[in-house]
Structure 1
Amino acid sequence: MTHAHPNTPRSCAHHASRHGANSADQAEMLDLDAEVLTEHTAAITAWLPIEAAPRLIVDLGCGTGVGTFALLARFPEARVTAVDSSADHLQRLRGKACAAAVEDRVRTVPADLDAADWPNLGKPDLIWASASLHHMADPDRALRKVYNALKPGGLFAVVELAGLPRFLPEAAPKDRPGLEERCHAAADRQHAHHVPHRGANWGPKLTAAGFTVEGERTIAANVSGSRSAAVGRYALATLHRLRHAVADTLSPEDLAALDRLLDTDSPHNILRGNDLAVRTERTVWAARRN
């Protein structure tokens, strides 16, 4: 069998792949995020201080393509190089590019962004990093690499979220009010140890790497479950992941209440209510290479 080069789009007839359970679950989450928060992501790309329409864009830590496809839509003349360490995610992205008939505008590059050497990304006009910098072992080194990779005058867009989305009213559920916030607080304590850069102020770090920060904005989203059936699937998937992360630290009462919310056979299941919504916010920094 002849294999396509990993840095080029594959034939649309060959985008199917086998995914491990964890990879498939993560990919499903990323795809739901893209579907539910399409307008939110579009609002971020629309805010970017673009001086001239970019021709070459790099999406660092692209996942299954949330940013890639938003950028393709925002800049119809541009090509995007999508970079990620997951071969499964890149293959899924290629499949979506084929389905959207934009495969000729997308190049996928497998790369570990924590490695000392990065692949040649050309000289992009715009580099986009959404929810990826905080995962890097040495983000300051990554910022310097981004600076060197950008074309002079090019723009770097850093998009970060403070935490997972919220889905329930503060007073929910009736038998354990504030349950969701307690779950998030437990997850935040874990992330403070394992993902110390989440929630960082990237402005000073960008300046230290040589960039000029031209703007910073926090953009909120509030998507009602009545607007999209995907909101329910997104809520279930997110809260299942949250339960897995914090089960050992919750009180028995909170864990039981969370299980009732997640049990699709329970009358307390979150999909049976009429107050489900996605509430989240992300902060974007726009930084120029001098």
Structure 2
Amino acid sequence: MTHHPTPHAHEHRHEHRLDADQAEILDLDADVLAEHIASIIRWLPVGNAPRQVVDLGCGTGAGTLALLDRFPEAYVTAVDSSDAHLRRLREKASAQGVDDRVRTVLADLDTAWPDLGAPDLGAPDLVWASASMHHMADPVRTLRQVHDTLAPGGLFAVVELAGFPRFLPEDAPAQAPGLEERAHAASESHHATHVPHRGADWGPMLTAAGFTVEGERTVTVDIENARSQAVGRYALESLRRLRGTVTDALSPGDLAALDRLLDTESPHGVLHRTDLVVRTERTVWAARR
């Protein structure tokens, strides 16, 4: 007898695949940009070293582990809506011998507060939110909840992408020079509809929520001659995700050129290029309760 999977089973497998794909790119992002994440944390005007930290939208743990490394007396509550991401974070923490300093909380960030039925996040000295605030359905409410959750004098660090990474030289690929910029431009309308808070200026919103913004900094990432295997995989996964949002927006010629870049067997694919770069920007706001 042929077994026909239920719609629920199909959706579960689809979500599992999406989680796995997202975990891969989060791990690669953490690997390639580790020093830039560490430099942002070193810059934070924390005053006394925080003991209780919350990582909102922790993913697979890039921020959590960097915070634990920077603040060796700290304990981190890591919050994410993906159980797969949290499992991966716990594996990493165990491998580094810091699992006793991490508590994971499975919760949707839009409801990750005790008054909405989620676990108590305590009264942290520092809340870290990297590339997660722009996903909030109601970021104004979330900012107020973070403000009220922080200990008096506590710090809220909001880190957001000022631009998605670019990997190719401007004149690449040979068949379609400038392809990467055209693809990013085509994806802008998609993100404007589905993620309207991406690229927002969080300073005025933090002030309106009762915070005092003590610092703002944009970190420019410009890694030339990026020939490491991790950078190749990072470019591959990033361009794959980009491909999924521009299918209906690019010309057939551009799509064909993009698919050649994504072909892992082709000598013209990104895994085999020796001219990759990593260029992006991240902006951080440090706000005090």
Same fold per superposition (TM over 0.5): yes
1:47 correspondence with 2:43: yes
Separation (CA, whole Å) in 2 of partners of 1:178 and 1:114: 38
Report the alpha carbon displacement of residue 274 of structure 1 after superposing the two structures with TM: 1.9
The aligned amino acid for 2:45 is: P
1:73 aligned partner: 69
Q: Is 2:53–2:126's contact at 8 Å kept on the other side of the alignment?
A: yes
1:190 correspondence with 2:190: yes
Q: Is 2:219–2:282's contact at 8 Å kept on the other side of the alignment?
A: yes
Could you tell me the percent identity over the aligned residues?
70
Separation (CA, whole Å) in 2 of partners of 1:225 and 1:86: 34
1:144 aligned partner: 144
Unmatched 5+ residue regions in structure 2? 1-14
Separation (CA, whole Å) in 1 of partners of 2:215 and 2:190: 31
1:113 correspondence with 2:105: no
The aligned amino acid for 2:78 is: A
Structure 2 SS opposite 1:217 = strand
Report the alpha carbon displacement of residue 248 of structure 1 after superposing the two structures with TM: 1.7
Separation (CA, whole Å) in 1 of partners of 2:147 and 2:273: 48
TM-score, structure 1 as length reference = 0.91
Q: Is 2:226–2:278's contact at 8 Å kept on the other side of the alignment?
A: no
Structure 2 SS opposite 1:68 = helix
Deviates more, 1:212-221 or 1:172-181: 172-181
**Cα RMSD over matched residues?**
1.3
2:234 aligned partner: 234
1:129 aligned partner: 129
Report the alpha carbon displacement of residue 156 of structure 1 after superposing the two structures with TM: 0.2
Separation (CA, whole Å) in 2 of partners of 1:223 and 1:28: 20
1:62 correspondence with 2:58: yes
1:248 aligned partner: 248
How many residues align? The count is 271
TM-score, structure 2 as length reference = 0.91
Structure 2 SS opposite 1:265 = coil
Report the alpha carbon displacement of residue 225 of structure 1 after superposing the two structures with TM: 5.2
1:180 correspondence with 2:180: yes
Separation (CA, whole Å) in 2 of partners of 1:91 and 1:225: 34
Separation (CA, whole Å) in 1 of partners of 2:69 and 2:29: 17
Separation (CA, whole Å) in 1 of partners of 2:227 and 2:205: 38
1:275 correspondence with 2:275: yes
Structure 1 SS opposite 2:220 = strand
Structure 2 SS opposite 1:147 = helix
5 Å matches for 1:74-89?
Answer: 74-89=70-85
Report the alpha carbon displacement of residue 273 of structure 1 after superposing the two structures with TM: 2.5
Report the alpha carbon displacement of residue 220 of structure 1 after superposing the two structures with TM: 1.0
Call closer, same or farther: CA 1:224–1:191 in 2, change over 3 Å. same
The aligned amino acid for 2:48 is: A
Q: Is 2:227–2:275's contact at 8 Å kept on the other side of the alignment?
A: no
Deviation digits for residues 54-107 of structure 1 (CA, Å, limit 9, x no counterpart) = 000000010111110110111111110000111111111111111111011000
The aligned amino acid for 2:142 is: A
1:32 correspondence with 2:60: no
Q: Is 2:134–2:195's contact at 8 Å kept on the other side of the alignment?
A: yes
Deviates more, 1:259-268 or 1:224-233: 224-233
Q: Is 2:135–2:195's contact at 8 Å kept on the other side of the alignment?
A: yes
Separation (CA, whole Å) in 2 of partners of 1:227 and 1:264: 16
